[in-house]
Amino acid sequence: MNKVLVLYTSPLPEEKSISTYIANKFLEEYKKTNPNDFIETLDLNNLSMANKSLNKDSFSSFWNEEDSDKFINQLKNINKLIISTAMINFNIPVTLKNYLDHICVANKTFSYKYSKKGDAIGLLTNVKVQIIATQGAPEDWYTWGLFTKYLEGTLNFLGMSVNKTILISGVKTSNYIQKTKEEIFEEFKNTIENQAKKF
C-alpha cells in the first residue's frame, strides 16, 4: 500500500481553479488502479503559513521549527506526492513557495556531508512526485518563467524522483478562454489518465 500526499496550492477558489479540477480528475483515475492506497490531502491555503509573507519584519517569525518538522516528517512517511499548482505571475503560488521554504532544510531534507564540493545529497529519496500544472500563456511564450522547471529542480535537489509534469498551458488564450474546466480536461484526458495509471 502506498501513502500518498496531495498538495493543493492554487489561490483561486476550488470551483474556479483548473489546476485543482485536473488534479482531482487525476486522483480519481489513480484510485481506480490503486484502490487500497492511503491518500491524504492538504490545501496549503488553509494553513496559517499561507497568510505570512517573508520580509525584514517577519524574518525571525516566518519560519518555525515546529511547522517545518511537521511537514518534513509528513514527507518522510509517504512515498508518493501529487502537487497541483498554477503559474501565478510567472512563478509558483506563494503558498507553495512558503511550503518549500519550510521543507528545504539543511541536514533534514538535503545534506552536503559526504558530497562532492558544491553538490548536495537529497534526503527525501523515498518520494515519487507527480506535478499537475496550468498556466495562462502557451508553454513557449515566457521561457524565462519556467515555473515547472523551478519546482522540478527543487524537488530533485531534495532527492525526490519527479515524473514528467502534466502541464496544461494556454488556458487564458482564445483557444481555451471560453471552455469550461470539463472541456479542457476532455482535451487532455488521455494524457492525464495514462499518467495516473503509471504513477
109-131: pLDDT as tens digits? 999 876 667 678 899 999 999 99
| Confidence check: pLDDT of 177 > 80 | yes
Cα gap 174→2, rounded to integer Å: 40
* pLDDT range class, residue 61, cuts 50, 70, 90: confident
| pTM score of the predicted model | 0.94
Q: Name all domains of the chain by residue range, CATH numbers in brackets.
A: 3-198 (3.40.50.360)
Residue whose C-alpha is closest to residue 114's, from 103, 122, 126: 122
Residue whose C-alpha is closest to residue 11's, from 134, 102, 131: 134
Q: Helix 65-76 vs helix 94-103: angle between axes, to the nearest 10 degrees?
A: 90
What mean pLDDT, rounded, does the chain reach? 92
R_g (Cα) of the chain, nearest Å:
17
Q: What is the pLDDT of residue 10?
A: 95
| Confidence check: pLDDT of 2 > 70 | yes
User: Measured at the alpha carbon of residue 131, what is the angle toward residues 118 and 165, in degrees to the nearest 5?
Assistant: 85
